[in-house]
Structure 1
């Protein structure tokens, strides 16, 4: 909540504090985020192993960020939906299913980017 006594800089610092807290909550409580961070770690290790280019690093981190953002937003939608209507409801289920589609699109896109980056490098090994 915005504090009317905060100046511009203090308000931005409070926002950063809340953002870091949100990232901490996601990484410590949500299995989907933990799984995606694990895959991000594997991709980063592969990037060093295969000595990928700067452009490939940028693309890799963009899709990693995209997946994490989609997972975070999906989690937020699910938490709000569960708060509003804790019991099963067909419309809430529909909303949650749609929200779950976002990280799926992001994950599929990241797999395509990973294929473009790593398949040619793996083929060269054989």
Structure 2
């Protein structure tokens, strides 16, 4: 019988798997690379315009929301392609809905960015 790993050891392993997944996502997916570029750009803008702590919190939340949605969308696409590699109408709808969720998150982030940055530009 093998020794059961502790809770802490399991959490450390889980963090390692999550980190590995995030790196894989960034290295392999063009859409997440675009989102990462946008995230870096608005972060630099935040420093340049000296946004408030509250604005930082919203900006960080929107970046997290969009990046998370993009990651989940990618996972759904991988699962759908694994289950049904050839074109299937229902799989297409599933993938479109998943991409639509990313679009909604991205539009919310754009709206948030406009609220933060338009007053600073004009």
Q: TM-score, normalised by structure 2?
A: 0.96
Matched, 1:67 2:44: no
- Pairs within 5 Å for 1:49-64: 49-64=48-63
Q: Give the count of matched residue pairs.
A: 121
Give the TM-score, by structure 1 length. 0.93
Name the SS of the counterpart of 2:45 in structure 1: helix
Q: Residue 5 of structure 1: CA displacement? A: 2.3
Per-residue deviation, residues 40-87 of structure 1 (Å, max 9, x unmatched): 011011111111001001100100000000000000000000000000
Counterpart-to-counterpart distance in 2, 1:90 and 1:84 = 13
CA separation in 2, counterparts of 1:45 and 1:88? 41
The whole-number CA distance in structure 2 between the counterparts of 1:97 and 1:6 is 41
Structure 1 unaligned segments of length 5 or more: list them.
Answer: none
Q: What RMSD in Å do the two structures reach over aligned CA positions?
A: 1.2
1:116 paired with 2:115, answer: yes
CA shift digits 1:12-53 (9 cap, x unpaired): 111001000000101100111100000001101111111100
Give the deviation of 1:4 after TM superposition. 7.5
The equivalent of 2:101 in structure 1 is 102
Written as runs of structure 1 = structure 2, the 5 A alignment for 1:39-58 is: 39-58=38-57
Please, which runs of 5 or more residues in structure 2 have no aligned partner?
Answer: none
Aligned counterpart, 2:8: 9
